[in-house]
Each structure stands twice: as C-alpha cells, then as structure tokens.
Structure 1
Amino acid sequence: MISKNSVFLIVSSFLLNTHTMADEKVILGAESTVQQYIPVAVGLNVGSLGYGATLMWDTDTSVGVTLGYTHHELWYNKDVSTSLGTWQRQSTNSRSHFLHVEWKPWQVQSKLLLKSSYLSVGAAYLQQSYALNQPDHERSGIIKSNQISPYIGIGMRPMLGLHWGWLAEMGVHYIPQPSMFLSQETAQSIWVKKDRWLPVAQIGVVYHF
C-alpha cells in the first residue's frame, strides 16, 4: 500500500517537471538553412570584363570575401600605339581571376539598398592577349600580358527573398604600364601606350544557400 509520503513525493516531482517544461522556450515554424552554419553564396555576373561566376563567403556580419572569374572575347578595330609604330587591334581575349574583401559599414541602416551596400578592395590576375596587324607593312602578331592589378570599388547586394538576390558593382583597376612581347618580331620586348586605370562595372544574380 502506497504511503502518504510516497504520494507527496510523486506529486511534488510532477509539479516540478511541469514548471521546468513551462520555462523552456519552444520555437515553432522556424526554417533551418545552410546559411545559418555556412554563410556562402554563388553568383553569375556580366560586365565590362565579360561574363563569369563568383563565390562569396560572409566571414562576419560586416565583412565578406569574394573569389571570382571573368572572361570575354571581343572583335573590333582600334589603333594601338607601340614603340614599333601604330598597330590595329582586331580582337581581344581577356581573363580575370580576382579576390576581393568586402566591408559593409551600413549594416545598422533600415533602408535595404544602403544596408546591403559595401566597399570592396582586392586584386585580380589579368590575362590579356591582343591580335594586331599593320596593313601598310603586311605584318601581324599577338601581344600578351599577364599581371596582377589592384582593385577598389563599391557595390550593393540586396536580398529578394530567403535565397535569391542581385548585385551591382563598379570600380577601377590599376594596371602598371606593361612591357609586352610581340610574337612575330625579332624576339624583342615592346612598350604599349595603355591607360593605367581600367574602370569596370558588373551586374548579376546571387543565390544564398
């Protein structure tokens, strides 16, 4: 037969457990995504340096890292001044591998566009080749240039929903004055008069995991 002390202990334990469960927070309707654990996004973009793809990692709420690649091929005529005279550029093949660090200083702002804006600094490894000819002298050749170019820019990357967003960015590359090798000359290096500042712009779509 159960004693009064046993009944008292059972009732006390039940009431204590009920009180403890009532104090626990219950979360209903929450959606768990990879973004909570791995803040990574991928993007497809097109711009003045061509088309490409990016991989973005938000290391902090205000700091991110972007790794990307772009490529383009253009066919057009343009005069290029060199130490061997004026040549006509007929096509350009350009590739860019870049690494940027992004800083978002306006995270506390309520406006979406300002909150999603960022400053970007980094560098790119630019690989460029130009098909040239001199119709008057019946000469042709290819100029190639591979160099690291510092970069600074500003952009915005607002979200349109839980996963999708878009980006827009503009900036400028600094390109040291290159010495380039003309393939169909006597193995000599030539100087090409080229702008040291290369403005760039791009737009794209972003998917956050």
Structure 2
Amino acid sequence: MPIKAKICGINHPEALTAAADGGARYIGLVFFAKSPRNVSLPLAAELARMVPTGVRTVGLFVDPTDDFLDQALAQVPLDLIQLHGGETPERVAAIRAAHRLPVMKALKVETAADLDAASAYEAVADILLFDAKPPKDSILPGGNGVAFDWTLLTGRRWSKPWMLSGGLTPDTVAEAIRISGADAVDVSSGVEDRPGHKDPALVRAFLEAIRAVA
C-alpha cells in the first residue's frame, strides 16, 4: 500500500506544486502567528485554490478560538482541521461538531506513557498525529526538527488512522516508516532550506524516498 504524505507549512506556490506533483496526499497550511510558517488568511485562500482535486487541504491550528476558526473557514476552503495545541477531547469533539469537518489531533510524544493519551482522542478525532514533544525552550508546538523514539510505535494499533511526524527528512523517513510501521507521514522543517521556507527540491526528495519504500 502506498505511504501517504503530508507536507506541512506550505507558504509559497513553488512548494505547493512540488508537493502536489510529487504525490503528497495532504497540503498543510499553518495558522499560528508565532510560527515562521504562518500564512495570512488571504494567502492561505490563494494557496488552497491551487490544491488539485484528490489532495486534501489541512489547516493547522493551535488552541484556536471559535472566532478565529470561523474566520479561517469562511475564507479558506479546508478539507481537514489539524489541532496541534493542548485541546482536550471535549474541545476536539466540539470543533468537529461545529464545523462538520474531520479533525486530526496531534499528540506530543517523548515516552511510552505519552501514547496512552491517544485512547482519549480515538472517539473524537478522525486521524491521530504522533509528533515529538517540543524542546523546553521552543515556542512552537511542532515543526522543531526533533524526532522521538520510533520504536515506541512498533506494533501499536489504534482504531483510527494515524500519522507519524517529528524530525523526518528525505534521509530518515524510510527508516522511520520501517521501524514505526506508519503508513502516513508528515514533514515540515525537514524539507526546508531555512526556517519557514520549503525547498521544492527537498520536498521532491522526501516524496521520492517514500515511494521507494512503497
């Protein structure tokens, strides 16, 4: 089965084209002001209109207010809401019900105990995303270029689809898939030539590495 890929933090057309043409299944747009990948709503709307049929547009939010979600969804055609903050299962369920869109919930992992939190979200999220816990000095909840121990996922099963993230690069993604058993992966900083700027060549290399695994 082909490995599905999400390229997150797209903020310019060249990177989006490289991702879509290379076979990415998901395009991620970041709505978090502190991130170097943050996009304005008008730019996000422009980029979303470029996403081809069959590729899903994902909006990444960090503990968003209802007002901001309403604004974003009124302007940007999204297929999926990604929640990457400290949202509780109750908050995830409320957002999903209010906006009638599937929701991906990111869970921050450092130890096996962190995976136990996943069970509380299985009933309310459509996709689980396992990302590395950010360094203590980071203001970003994700996109820090940090990996966690992929063996923590070996042999684990959940009732919902899941995706692996955290420190993946064109050079490491094949091993990460082999060890974790992931059939979907998410990358952000690992395909950048500087913080917040996706390098189309690295995007293509990442997607080629995934195809080689499949």
Question: Could you say which structure has the greater relative contact order, defined with CA pairs below 8 angstroms and 6 or more residues apart?
Answer: 2
Give the strand-richer structure, 1 or 2. 1
Per the normalisation by structure 1, the TM-score is 0.21
Q: Which has the larger radius of gyration?
A: 1
